[in-house]
């Protein structure tokens, strides 16, 4: 026998690289997840349109009409929705990735797999749900005379990449911790409640600077990668539908780069935490 | 056919000084932890026990060994260390080639998917590539003998059919190291016989086999070497007949001491 494969320690893995190596399995896991989610439902994927649509209508009337944001912000509907899609993707990806290891306990306990597969699958499933929302947003944009530049389109794509990286990084950290203490999934729900309000989704950045000035608190506010991604989406989807009178948030480019750096650091930390705790998953579940 | 000589080049599994502790936490509640800490009984919160203590052995290509011992002796933990599901706290475990096993075969099955989809998913979980699954697909279906239910969702299967399908995938994964935990719980007698024949076949193909079972007749038929574990300690590593004799001896002594 000319078998020259070397000895290796079972269960040692290349982390996220192994997910790429096992991408066929990843595809099947995503398929399974989607099947399970919509199993036995009449509307099926239609539900992924329903939730943001209802959310949009509620926010539009409460904040746009009752609280009169419509008056100050041109095309407030587009402004609102381009932020909502960011938050919806982030919430779904982060919270499902956090639960992904505990939800797949049967597999984790019995068979060795690169466990990063589960959070990655959760993030991709969230992307599948993001697409219909994006289509709805684009229809709204075209209806309002959207004329984006190539740079704005590229910025939107890059912004999404930063968002997905950030969600996956956090998902890896909290997914691993959640195996040890189930408190973390509740903590994540709490973080997500705050997250929607801690970025300029429902309001504009000018209201924030009016309230807290442009000091260190404002810098802190902008260091949140979600804030940068929301502003990038505004710049890509909302700004090209307006007459351009509303000033884009200052230093958006710089904060976008910072957001990318923060997200990559979080992803690195996530991978490290995950590797560190991975060996304990089977016995803690 | 058996490679009795454990020549270094032919080793598939090497376990050296493997130790595994388990910590049983009685509570995770913050309230309890605070109270116990104030009472100075922090230690009561968890219990540590040794599941495996300094285990060393190796298994060569084409060799079939049995892990024997009573419930809780550490057999399944050892299998989990070899498969990589758990890591050892101390010592080193090295394997060469691909591991797959008949360990809780139903774990990779999903009720909402059809039989066909489950073959692909389960095959991929057990480490097969898309091409390998496609090549083996007809054999897997034929082995399971439930061709007509391939497009039915697995949740409508009887428990026997469910296990047949899971088992059929598992025995067609073509690994280098095959781990088997309590196989005889599967299906009716003809199907059991077929499974055993398939395992025999794998062995003749030169796969490395590690079997955990309480069925000593089956074990003596399939393996030539046995390792006896007792409360995480390795009692012996030798010819299967001697291992079985020792185990029976331990069992009767265990009963007397009750």
Strand, coil or helix: A70: helix
Asked whether the beta carbons of B231 and B69 are under 8 A apart, the reply is no
Chain A residue at shortest CA distance from B82: A10
> Is the Cβ pair A10, B99 closer than 8 Å?
yes
Please name the residues in contact with A90: beta carbons below 8 A apart, sequence gap of 6 or more: A163, A166, A167, A192, A195, A226
**pLDDT of the residue at B88:** 87
Of A8, A12, A106, the CB nearest to B107: A106
Domain boundaries of chain A, sorted by first residue: 16-284
User: In the predicted model, what is the mean pLDDT of chain A?
Assistant: 90
Asked whether the beta carbons of B153 and B112 are under 8 A apart, the reply is yes
As beta bridge partners, residue B208 has: B177
Residue A14: pLDDT above 90?
no
Q: Each residue of A52-84: pLDDT tens digit?
A: 888 888 888 888 888 888 888 888 889 999 999
Of B22, B112, B124, the CB nearest to A24: B124
Of B14, B95, B124, the CB nearest to A28: B124
Q: Each residue of A115-140: pLDDT tens digit?
A: 999 999 999 999 999 998 999 899 98
Q: Each residue of A155-170: pLDDT tens digit?
A: 999 999 999 999 999 9
* DSSP secondary structure letter of residue A65: I
Which domains are delineated in chain B? 62-87+97-256 (3.40.50.300)
Q: Does A186 touch chain B (CB under 8 A)?
A: no
Q: Which of B236, B235, B212, B239 is nearest to B224 (CA)?
A: B239
Place of tokens 């047949």: B164
Asked whether the beta carbons of A95 and A119 are under 8 A apart, the reply is no
Task: State how far the Cα of A102 lies from the Cα of A281, in Å rounded to an integer.
Answer: 9
> Is the Cβ pair A10, B96 closer than 8 Å?
no
Which H or E run contains A16? Answer: helix A16-21
Instruction: Name the minimum distance, in Å, from the CA of B33 to any CA of chain A.
Output: 14
Task: State how far the Cα of B253 lies from the Cα of B258, in Å rounded to an integer.
Answer: 9
Of residues A45 and A210, more confidently modeled: A210
Q: At what angle do helices B159-170 and B115-125 cross, to 10 degrees?
A: 40
Of B103, B112, B124, the CB nearest to A36: B112
**pLDDT of the residue at B186:** 64
As beta bridge partners, residue A232 has: none
Q: Which of A282, A104, A127, A45 is nearest to B110 (CA)?
A: A104
Asked whether the beta carbons of A285 and A179 are under 8 A apart, the reply is yes
Q: Number of residue pairs across A and B with CB atoms under 8 Å?
A: 90
Of A5, A28, A110, the CB nearest to B120: A28
Chain B residue at shortest CA distance from A11: B84
Q: Does A20 touch chain B (CB under 8 A)?
A: no
pLDDT level of residue A232 (50, 70, 90 thresholds): very high
pLDDT level of residue A1 (50, 70, 90 thresholds): very low
**A270-273: long-range contacts (C-beta < 8 A, 24 or more apart)?**
A270/A168, A270/A169, A270/A170, A270/A171, A270/A172, A270/A173, A271/A15, A271/A16, A271/A116, A271/A169, A271/A172, A273/A172, A273/A173, A273/A176, A273/A177
Instruction: Name the minimum distance, in Å, from the CA of B124 to any CA of chain A.
Output: 5
Chain A CB contacts of B126 under 8 Å are 111
Asked whether the beta carbons of B211 and B242 are under 8 A apart, the reply is no
pTM: predicted TM-score of the whole model, two decimal places: 0.89
Chain B CB contacts of A279 under 8 Å are 86-87
Residues in chain B, pLDDT under 70: 1-9, 42-45, 182-187, 254-258
Tell me the two tokens of residue A61. 């009337």
Using CB atoms within 10 Å of the CB of residue A37, give its burial: 0 to 12 exposed, 13 to 18 middle, 19+ buried.
Answer: middle
Chain A CB contacts of B85 under 8 Å are 11, 108-112, 282
Q: Each residue of A84-115: pLDDT tens digit?
A: 999 999 999 999 999 999 999 888 888 888 99
**pLDDT of the residue at B7:** 45
**pLDDT of the residue at A156:** 96
Chain B residue at shortest CA distance from A28: B121
Instruction: Name the minimum distance, in Å, from the CA of A60 to any CA of chain B.
Output: 38
- A246 to A70, A144, A243: CA distances (angstroms): 13, 16, 8
* DSSP secondary structure letter of residue A238: I
Q: Does A194 touch chain B (CB under 8 A)?
A: no
Q: Which of B179, B175, B155 is nearest to B165 (CA)?
A: B155
**pLDDT of the residue at B42:** 67
Strand, coil or helix: A115: coil
Query: How do B11-25 and B90-95 pair as beta strands?
Result: antiparallel
Asked whether the beta carbons of A58 and A78 are under 8 A apart, the reply is no
């Amino acid at each position: 026998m000319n078998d020259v494969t070397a000895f290796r320690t079972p269960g040692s893995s290349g982390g996220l690289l192994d997910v790429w190596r096992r991408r066929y399995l990843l595809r099947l896991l995503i398929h399974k997840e989607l099947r399970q989610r919509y199993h036995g439902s009449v509307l099926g994927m239609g539900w992924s349109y329903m939730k943001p649509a209802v959310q949009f209508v509620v926010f539009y009337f409460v904040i746009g009409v009752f609280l009169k944001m419509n008056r100050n912000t041109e095309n407030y509907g587009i402004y609102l929705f381009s932020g909502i899609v960011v938050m919806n993707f982030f919430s779904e990806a982060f919270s499902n990735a956090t639960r992904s290891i505990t939800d797949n306990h049967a597999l984790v306990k019995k068979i060795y797999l690169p466990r990063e597969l589960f959070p990655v699958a959760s993030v991709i499933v969230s992307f599948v749900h993001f697409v219909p929302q994006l289509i709805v947003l684009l229809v709204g944009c075209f209806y309002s005379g959207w004329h984006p530049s190539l740079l704005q389109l590229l910025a939107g794509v890059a912004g999404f990449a930063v968002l997905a990286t950030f969600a996956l990084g956090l998902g890896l950290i909290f997914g691993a911790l959640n195996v040890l203490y189930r408190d973390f999934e509740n903590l994540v729900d709490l973080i997500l409640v705050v997250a929607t309000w801690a970025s300029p989704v429902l309001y504009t950045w000018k209201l924030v600077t009016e309230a807290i000035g442009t000091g260190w608190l404002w810098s802190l506010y902008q260091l949140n990668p979600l804030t940068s991604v929301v502003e990038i989406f505004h710049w890509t989807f909302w700004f090209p539908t307006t007459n351009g009178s509303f000033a884009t948030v200052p230093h958006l480019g710089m904060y976008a780069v910072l957001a990318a750096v923060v997200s990559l650091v979080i992803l690195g930390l996530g991978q490290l935490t995950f590797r560190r705790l991975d060996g304990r998953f089977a016995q803690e579940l | 056919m058996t490679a009795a000589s454990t020549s270094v080049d032919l080793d598939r599994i090497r376990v050296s000084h493997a130790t595994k502790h388990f910590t049983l936490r009685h509570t995770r509640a913050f309230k309890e932890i605070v109270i116990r800490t104030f009472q100075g009984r922090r230690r009561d919160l968890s219990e540590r026990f040794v599941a495996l203590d300094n285990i060393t052995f190796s298994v060569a290509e084409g060799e079939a060994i049995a892990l024997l011992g009573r419930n809780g002796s550490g057999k399944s933990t050892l299998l989990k260390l070899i498969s990589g599901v758990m890591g050892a706290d101390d010592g080193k475990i090295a394997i060469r080639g691909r591991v797959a096993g008949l360990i809780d075969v139903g774990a990779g099955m999903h009720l909402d998917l059809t039989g066909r989809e489950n073959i692909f998913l389960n095959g991929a979980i057990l480490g097969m590539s898309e091409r390998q699954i496609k090549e083996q697909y007809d054999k897997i279906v034929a082995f399971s003998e439930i061709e007509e239910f391939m497009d039915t969702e697995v949740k409508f299967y009887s428990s026997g059919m469910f296990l047949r399908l899971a088992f059929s995938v598992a025995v067609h994964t073509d690994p280098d190291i095959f781990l088997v935990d309590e196989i005889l719980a599967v299906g009716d007698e003809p199907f059991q016989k077929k499974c055993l024949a398939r395992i025999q076949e794998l062995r003749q193909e030169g796969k490395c086999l590690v079997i955990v079972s309480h069925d000593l007749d089956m074990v003596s038929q399939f393996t030539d070497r046995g390792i006896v574990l007792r409360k995480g300690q390795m009692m012996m590593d030798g010819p299967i007949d001697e291992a079985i004799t020792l185990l029976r001896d331990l069992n009767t002594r265990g009963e007397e001491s009750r």
